[in-house]
Amino acid sequence: IGFWSGARERIGFNTDGQRRGFMYTRRVVYTDSDHMSSIFARLLQPLGISGALPAVSYAVTDSDRAVGEAILREAAVADGPFPLVAMHLGMGDNFYQIPLKRWPPEHFAALADRLADEFGATIVFTGQGEGERQVIESARALMRRPAINGCNRFTINQLAAFLGQCHFVVSNDTSVMHLAALVGTPVVSMFGPTAPLHYGPRGERNLVFYRDLYCSPCLTNYNLKQSRCVDPVCIRLIHPDTVFAAITANYLGEDAIHRDFLRGRVRATTATA
């Protein structure tokens, strides 16, 4: 698109294996050595712009927040006591139409049940589209405890507002993970075919799970993110018990709850494990 635009100056990455460097008037070397936000910031260097990226925020309105609150009221969820947890199960398919980056729905279900059992957590599944609705329903069918289906209920702004109200968010490596981090909510994220070094959530107090196997990562910009893997054992090996233990230690232990109350993150107290 940049090449055919007729722009006299075109700045882009000269990425090994992609063979498109000839399209640019100024080429920037691409290396998988940093987070993508910093890598793309390199494109500014030919313009004489460098240094740390400016801080960004995401503004939401009271009407945006009201949507999430209405969904909780509809599900007869009171203001407490509970931690409010959003879980995003969705993820696009890969080269062979296999959801390589998707933590199994049964793992989400097991984690959600345990959070509800031991901490009285309110679980809200988020998603968009028929495919993600089906994944959410498959997870809910495996659960012993009820969970709220928030699929197709939010616009982007409304979702951002709701994520900002949550204690933490459990998500695959997808846009919702970054949206939650942007509004300042801790993220529990699962990585397999992609590396958190490149695509991990930004911000503080995030929990990132990644099994760095001999074949990891198999989705990179060097192969146009077209992995031929048909058995994503890397992400399947992240066990719900491991995730639950880390969540308990960092977000739901007694010290963590007190710290989050001081920061205004937790809506109400939670039961002890």
pLDDT tens for each residue of 196-206: 989 999 988 99
Q: Quick one: average pLDDT of 145-155?
A: 96
Would you list the DSSP string of the chain? Answer: -TTTTT-S--EEEE-TTT--GGG-SEEEE--SSS-HHHHHHGGGGGGT--SSPPP------HHHHHHHHHHHHHTT--S-SS-EEEEE------TTS--TTPPPHHHHHHHHHHHHHHH--EEEEE--SHHHHHHHHHHHHH-SS--EE-TT---HHHHHHHHHHSSEEEEESSHHHHHHHHTT--EEEEESSS-HHHHPPPSSS-EEEE---TT-----GGGTT----S--HHHHTS-HHHHHHHHIIIIISHHHHHHHHHHT--SS-----
Q: Do 190 and 173 form a contact (C-beta atoms < 8 A)?
A: yes
Average pLDDT, the chain: 87
Residues in the chain: 273
Q: Do 211 and 234 form a contact (C-beta atoms < 8 A)?
A: yes
Q: Quick one: average pLDDT of 142-150?
A: 96
Residue 92 has pLDDT above 80, yes or no: no
Q: How confident is the model at residue 244 (pLDDT cuts 50, 70, 90)?
A: very high
Largest pairwise CA distance in the chain = 63
Q: How confident is the model at residue 179 (pLDDT cuts 50, 70, 90)?
A: very high
Q: Quick one: average pLDDT of 259-268?
A: 48
- Residue 263: its pLDDT value, please? 47
Q: How confident is the model at residue 96 (pLDDT cuts 50, 70, 90)?
A: low
pLDDT tens for each residue of 111-140: 999 999 999 999 999 999 999 999 999 999
